[in-house]
Chain A
Amino acid sequence: MNTRRDFLKSSALGTGALMLPSSLSQLFEAPVARQPPMRFIFMHKGNGLFPSVMVPPSLSAQDMEKENKKEAFEVDLDKHELPKWMSVLNAHKKDMTILQGLSGRMCTNGHHSWQSCLGVYAATERLASIKWATVDFELARLFPSPLEHIELACFPDGGGNARGNINGIEKGFSARGPQQPNYAFGSPKVAIDELFKSVSNNESGRVRYELERKLLEFTSGNQSGLSQDLIGLELAKVKNYADAMEDIRTRNRKLDAMGDIIGKNIPKLDKKYFADNISTIDRQLGHTEILLSALISGMTNVVTFTVDELGTPYTGVPGLETEKINLHDVGHGKSVGKLTAPEVREQLCHSHMTLIDTIVRRLKSVPEGKGTMFDNTMLCYFPDNGETHHSTGIEWPYLIMSGRNAKLNIAGRYIRLPYWGTEGHKTIGNWFTTILNAYGNPIKHFGDLDLGLNKLIADQTGPIKRFIG
């Protein structure tokens, strides 16, 4: 457990998270330092991710035995083959980490985990279960940007956690603060309409943009007028609200000033990506382009991307174009077309890897400082619910791509950490603490503790120290 002192020290997670931000200007502020900001991409999938499929097939017999016994070890990836479904990332092995052995039993597990996988607590569909801001928002606050954070999603339309409108803006996996879910863009169309409206070529988009500007101008003036003759707390009750409106206007002005760069980076997507009945694979591709545009243009430094969820209606999968794949059935071992369930999983994960390859290649092609934008990027690919379809959180595999300015000393390695319950075991809480500590948030421990683990290991709090470079 954290002490009160730790709590006070980590302002962003302490009072900052318990009370919503008092000043939006802090959130929207562009970084002052000349050094480029770090970018973070959290890409997660549903239906679990088997630890066994993450293992390089070329491990020595000795290492494979350790792997099978879930004993800690690590190897350099450049001396090994990647699993076949990951092979599209062969060119990026030196930037890659396969991290095994984390657990997340303090999360809601099973089919769905809601904000658990990013917040490290037992979240459910009830908003009251959201305890604090998720790790992606905490990082976004360390690297402020005009839009702070963007969430994109391939929403489910079934599977026990359906969103009403898979093409709309719905509750996502991230949380801004306690009981404050974030909202994600469900389709490339709605994301482009909302994110790039300031440079929209389309008449209705421009009108909407203009209307929003006028509304804020009006309400901001209205509220500012109320603050006359007030002092102290009573002044703050009105002025903070008026100031917040003014902050958004300032942010909008910044976005306007970035018009050229945003315009240059507006995703160039074919018509099919704007259709309501877009296939899942196209939806993922479209979202990937938006993710890249948002990062490259500097609108945000953090993107969370639900690449699929248990109830996502999978369509357009190469080789299975005529099928609508039900991930829940796949989770229960049902084959689809000629493919067995494990083969379907492999096919879908392979498709995710091609998206990651696109992201990494593109960012490597954007010059930044003395290198490229990828140097200042970290991408995490992981399951939203742990190790399998009906997960318990006993394992939580991660694939990480990180550039050379990343502050974690993990790149180019396959790392298996000690298994749950054994000395040295680490949870996703330790993992997120490591990332936060490395980038400037001094929190002692991010997330809830695993009560079952408490008796088995001496201290489950803190970062994974050896990862901090």
Chain B
Amino acid sequence: MKYIFTPLVVLFAAANHVANDDVPQPVQRVLRTYCYGCHSEKTSKGEVRLDTISSLDAKVRLDLMNKLQEQIHFTGMPPQDEKQPNAAERKLLADWVRGELLKSNAPLIEDKLGYPDYGNNVDHDKLFSGAIKDKPFTPARRWLVSPQIFKGRIIDIFRLKGEAYSKYKSFYGITAPFVLPDRSGIRDYALTPLDGGHLLVMLTNADWISQKQIRAARVKKGDFKADYFENPSDRFSPPTPSAFEAVILNTAKPSDDAIIAAIQAQFGIVLKRPASDREQAKYLAMTRSAIDLAGNTEGLRQMLVAVLLESEFLYRLEFGEGAADADGRKMLSPREASYAIAYALGDWGPDPALVRAAAEGQLKNKEDYKREVLRLLADENYYKGVIDPTMNNSDDTSHPKIIRFFREFFGYPNAVKVFKDNKRSGGYYQNPGRDSSGTPGRLIVEADKIVDLCLKQDRNVFENLLTTDQFFMYHNVDNEKGLKIIAGWRELYETLKDTDWRKNPEKVFAEHQELCKKHNVDLGKLTHSNDLRRVMEYFSFTFGKGNTPFTTFPWAHGSNFKYSESYSIGGTPGSPFRGEERYDENHNLNYPVVQPFKLANHMGLLTHPAWLIAHSSNFHTDPIRRGRWIQEKLLAGRVPDVPITVDAKIPEDPHMTLRERVESVTGPAQAACWKCHQQMNPLGYPFEKFDDFGRFRAEEPLENPENLIKKAKRENDADSYKAKPVSTVGNLRGTGNSKLDGPVKDSFDLIQRLSKSDRVRQSIIRHAFRFYMGRNEMLSDSQTLIAADKAYRESGGSFKAVIVSLLTSDSFLYRK
């Protein structure tokens, strides 16, 4: 494979110079002075020509105009070492391009700036300079609920008595109508409009919900028996609200009052507000007509479905209320504020105290907001649950959504989306499959535990996440219990190790029956039996070699703890399969019972196997993507997308490491590529110290048939290849601090420097802003960001302080 530049053929079809006839003369002069030098017939750098715009096909021309507008807006061109147009000339060019795009109703740069990819386009230094004194606000908006909040809203329909959310795990008949975009970075922006696809799913959802809402009343009415379920797998049978029951059980046509009561009940249940007079009148007419046509039950159900199809059920409404201030801003209404706060901190709507605060006028100023935010942050139970029910299972935590911010920021959950060739791992790596998110799923949960730990400590959170040596692995029982298990097992091993357990386990068992039973050891022969010989063999290979075994036997039902090699600390001994017990010499894990434990050769989340796998490809590491992540997430930089004219591929070469192959096509020798790649590659190369499974290494095997040293004997073992030492040197540029910028020797050096950078801290805060506000920051948000940064510093690195600061900011409170 070659790294290929494919020219946009149409763009350059005109071999000869064609005058830009319809380009105004002043604009042509600017183009001629500053652009044609590189982008005309003779040079056409980057394969772009600007001297033939007039002759281009309309579509190609628009594409070029879009690119031109981006370059003008971000002052990407002319290159810094070339002669620059003055402000008036830039404006002339910008106005002309804008006009051309408007003529064709094409998207403008302004439309794009709100999208996540453009978040870093607001000048970082200006944002934090303190020079911007604009009053922050968020545009008035509808914000589509996330899939997690959608689930909370469905639960709210059925938890009529305020039961715990955790009581409801899933609903047979509900499909989330939307998914969050599959991208690295903050995913839930207030940009998505409801559309036809959402409607199709909601029609099915609304039908199921309404059937369930009236089921109990229909049983009472005698339509069917309580134990009859049309679908035996769907036996959910919630109570019917009394207002609905009154209509259904009425043998005559219901009165207007009864219908109105039902309408108001459904508005209260679904939209959490009463119907207005106008809405009530419309819904009354519709329900009455439906009842006339189909009877009380079906007529009523029609109304229930109609309320469920209100777009308001799927949006968070944030318009502001009351008189606008001098800057034209309106504060959120108390009700809007209660939802904004509740959904910022979790997936459930306002808790009773927040509802009360809104109703009693206690959500009117920043102090009110701060009180409620602090109260909910201190509440260990209200939001308690798994981190993301839509991705993979995890332990319950008090504030799942806060951990979700770090999941989105670091992007390590994407590890489940990278499929690996299991054999290359030596057989331990399990791809996600049925009923399991495999090895990456478990690694993600273990990365979450680091985040949870840092958040609980709430001191220097960002720095710790980047540099901690405290890791978790397999930690499925608490430390106390784990120590007790190991002490018991050790007692058993020490007592029996010199007996004839291998040849005569029955005799040994009979002589030590009490001790064996105490540790659930028997003589069973079933798949999961802890039979004496199997257990002692396991102990001989662990305790006997001076190591501590993992606290769950490898053959335990459902055990999938086989991936310790991901942490570069030796393989896990044993096998889940009877008769195939394997005790390879390199399976020498010394299990750290007390966790978190200090892990060598890894430092913080950027060297956690979950992050490394998430930022790798199926077969290789991915220094470009890793470097880009650091550039965009930690250095607030912006790397342009791969030009559409470039078919980016890394060439095969059996004698080169991946780094060498990447360098051969994107390095300094390739000037056009290096222009962008210099912002990524030097930041990604230091991570070559880890392979694409996240394992620490000194050498890279050159996995090419030509380099095969030894084919593995067993199907799932890795083949051996010739290897070359890896180079981990890189270069840090862009912290704005000359003491930190410069060559780095490896990932640890790079991470240490990043953790000390103000810009990195501020960049993380910018992303937190996006997460909590559902949008990109604008220059007018400067004061909000500076305050959040200050709150972090002055609190000794508390992320809770950042949250409180953001949720009491003008950006959060005001709409315009």
Contact = CB atoms under 8 A, between A and B. Distances in A.
Interface string B270-292: 00000000000010001001100
A226 B309 CA distance: 13
B311 A238 contact: yes
A187 to B, nearest CB: 12
Given A124-B435, A241-B199, A211 B176 contact: no
B418 to A, nearest CB: 11
A4 B294 contact: no
A451 B421 contact: yes
Given A165-B230, A222-B310, A234-B142, A176 B197 contact: yes
Interface residues of A, number: 61
A164 B230 CA distance: 9
A241 B198 contact: yes
A65 interface: no
Interface stretch (B188-196, B403-411, B470-478): B188-196
A4 B642 contact: yes
Interface in B94-123: 114
B197 A233 contact: no
Contacts of A181: 175
B199 A245 contact: yes
B644 A4 contact: yes
B interface majority secondary structure: loop
Given A5-B647, A178-B179, A240-B195, A108 B294 contact: no
Given A164-B233, A168-B230, A215-B302, A179 B176 contact: yes
A401 interface: no
Interface string B590-628: 000000000000000000000000000011000000000
A24 interface: yes
Given A215-B305, A451-B421, A238 B142 contact: yes
B662 to A, nearest CB: 16
Contacts of B391: 128
Contacts of A452: 421
Given A8-B644, A18-B181, A183-B204, A23 B293 contact: no
A177 interface: yes
Interface string A1-30: 001110010000000001111111001000
B222 interface: no
B322 interface: no
B201 interface: yes
B325 interface: no
A467 interface: no
Interface in B661-710: 705
A240 B191 CA distance: 13
Interface in B291-313: 293-294, 298, 302, 305-306, 309-311
Contact of A237 (B193, B305, B309): B193
Nearest to B416: A128
Contacts of A210: 293-294
A223 B114 CA distance: 25
B232 interface: yes
Contacts of B644: 4-5, 8
Given A162-B233, A211-B294, A234-B142, A244 B195 contact: yes
A124 B434 contact: yes
Contact of A3 (B232, B233, B648): B648
B294 A20 contact: no
A178 B197 CA distance: 11
Given A5-B644, A108-B434, A178-B179, A244 B196 contact: yes
B467 to A, nearest CB: 32
Interface in A217-264: 218-219, 222-223, 226, 233-234, 236-241, 243-245, 247-248
Contacts of A240: 193-196
B419 interface: yes
B315 to A, nearest CB: 7
A215 to B, nearest CB: 6
A21 B293 contact: no
B390 interface: yes
B306 A218 contact: yes
B434 A207 contact: no
A125 interface: yes
B743 to A, nearest CB: 32
Contacts of B286: 214, 218
B352 to A, nearest CB: 30
B231 interface: yes
A19 to B, nearest CB: 8
B231 A168 contact: yes
B310 A23 contact: no
Contacts of A127: 175-176
A234 B311 contact: no
B555 to A, nearest CB: 22
A163 interface: yes
B182 interface: yes
A56 to B, nearest CB: 35
A225 to B, nearest CB: 9
Contacts of B419: 122, 448, 451
Interface in B124-178: 140-142, 144, 172, 175-178
B57 interface: no
Contacts of A244: 194-196, 198-199
B132 to A, nearest CB: 25
B654 to A, nearest CB: 12
Given A178-B179, A245-B199, A452-B421, A164 B172 contact: yes
Contacts of B647: 3, 5
B196 A21 contact: yes
Contacts of A234: 140-142
A454 interface: yes
A265 interface: no
Given A5-B644, A124-B433, A237-B142, A247 B293 contact: no
Interface in B411-447: 419-421, 431-435
A22 B230 contact: no
Contacts of A237: 142, 144, 192-194, 311, 315
Given A24-B199, A128-B390, A211 B179 contact: no
B87 interface: no
B619 A454 contact: yes
A180 B175 contact: yes
Contacts of A128: 390-391
B232 A22 contact: no
B511 interface: no
A23 B197 CA distance: 8
B433 A108 contact: yes
Nearest to B233: A164
Given A210-B294, A222-B310, A244-B199, 17 more contacts: A19-B197, A22-B193, A108-B433, A108-B434, A164-B234, A176-B197, A179-B176, A183-B204, A207-B298, A210-B293, A219-B309, A222-B306, A223-B311, A234-B140, A237-B144, A241-B193, A454-B421
Interface of B: 114, 140-142, 144, 172, 175-179, 181-182, 191-201, 204, 230-234, 282, 286, 289-290, 293-294, 298, 302, 305-306, 309-311, 315, 390-391, 419-421, 431-435, 618-619, 641-642, 644, 647-649, 705
6 contacts: A20-B177, A20-B196, A214-B290, A215-B305, A219-B310, A452-B421
What 7 A-B pairs are tightest by C-beta distance, nearest first? A20-B197, A164-B233, A24-B196, A244-B196, A165-B231, A164-B231, A241-B194
